[in-house]
Amino acid sequence: MGSIRLDRYLADVHIGSRKQIKEYIREGRVRIGEAVVTRGEEHLDPEQDTVFFDDKKLEYSKQRYIMLNKPAGVVSATKDGLSKTVIGLLKNVPVRGLSPAGRLDKDTEGLLLLTDDGPLIHQLIAPSKKVDKRYEVHLKSALSDEALRRLEEGVEIGDETKTLPARARRLPEDEKGCPVIELIIHEGRFHQIKRMLHAVGNEVVYLKRLSMGPLELDPTLPPGTFRYLSATEITALKDGGGR
Ligand code: URA
């Protein structure tokens, strides 16, 4: 791919703002191979050279992988005439080409991955790839053992086929006294969890996605905030997000 400047490389791998990157380089925290480099103008070839930041090897990618803790009230779309979109929450991010990996309903909160890596999106959302999507589901009424078993086996929700087998377990009640379950599904049908609970005679009062494959929602991200994925998270998603 040819050579690029070190400061450009570090910006592409999102280790910090331009100002922070300048400081990191000045402080001698960046190496190309064995050599500490203190000038951002230095050139390197991302395909040939290995770059370290604080002795940690960096993985070069121009693609963007962003974890958003989606708040209620915004839609999981890139454009919407009426409502605020998740893309609108990504302050100071070049958003061209970014799409959410699957949609969360307007009132659902939690983990949403936004990326311009189309094949990864496909790998994460295709039901055939069986990637776990784990949700915290707060309910209107207690769930019987029979209802739990039916959710796990697959239920009729008005589509051509039943839902795929899922996993469900009870969690402690929430602060309002509502029953809570954890539900792991592999598909992403429209309003799927709400329709599954409706099919077993219950109702969802609050829904939050906690993880998608190996990617866990960062508990330090308040709703409405986001961060870039680490190189380790990206590798784990590519390796483990879909079989
Ligand atoms: N199931 C739903 O019903 N809504 C979501 O947002 C996600 C899964």
Residue minimizing CA distance to atom 3 of ligand 1: 191
pLDDT score at 165: 95
Whether 53 and 107 have beta carbons less than 8 Å apart is answered as no
CA–centroid distance for 243 within its chain: 18
Catalytic residues: 105
Find residue 53's DSSP bridge partners. Answer: 30, 56
Beta sheet of 30-32, edge-to-edge order: 35-36, 30-32, 51-53, 56-57
pTM equals 0.85
Tell me if 69 CB under 6 Å of ligand 1. no
Tell me if 163 CB under 6 Å of ligand 1. no
Tell me if 150 CB under 6 Å of ligand 1. no
Residues 6+ positions from 95 with CB-CB distance below 8 Å:
78, 87
**Residue extent(s) of CATH 3.10.290.10 domains in the chain:** 4-57
**Residue extent(s) of CATH 3.30.70.1560 domains in the chain:** 132-212
- Nearest-angstrom CA–CA distance, 117 and 243: 17
Q: Which CATH architecture has domain 132-212?
A: 2-Layer Sandwich (3.30)
Weakly modelled stretches of the chain, pLDDT under 50: 243
Q: What is the DSSP letter of 89?
A: G
pLDDT score at 110: 98
**Residue extent(s) of CATH 3.30.70.580 domains in the chain:** 63-129+223-243
Q: Which atom of ligand 1 is nearest the CA belonging to 188?
A: 8
Distance 192 CA to ligand 1 centre (A): 5
Radius of gyration of the chain (CA): 21
pLDDT score at 93: 85
pLDDT score at 1: 67
The pick from 103, 104, 107, 109 for probing ligand 1's pocket by mutation, whose C-beta has the most ligand atoms within 8 angstroms, reads: 104
- Nearest-angstrom CA–CA distance, 148 and 156: 14
The Cβ of residue 40 has, within 10 Å, a number of other Cβ atoms equal to 19
Written out in words, the top-level CATH class of the domain with range 4-57 is: alpha beta
| Topology of the domain covering 63-129+223-243 | Alpha-Beta Plaits (3.30.70)
Distance 95 CA to ligand 1 centre (A): 24
The Cβ of residue 240 has, within 10 Å, a number of other Cβ atoms equal to 13
Residue minimizing CA distance to atom 2 of ligand 1: 191
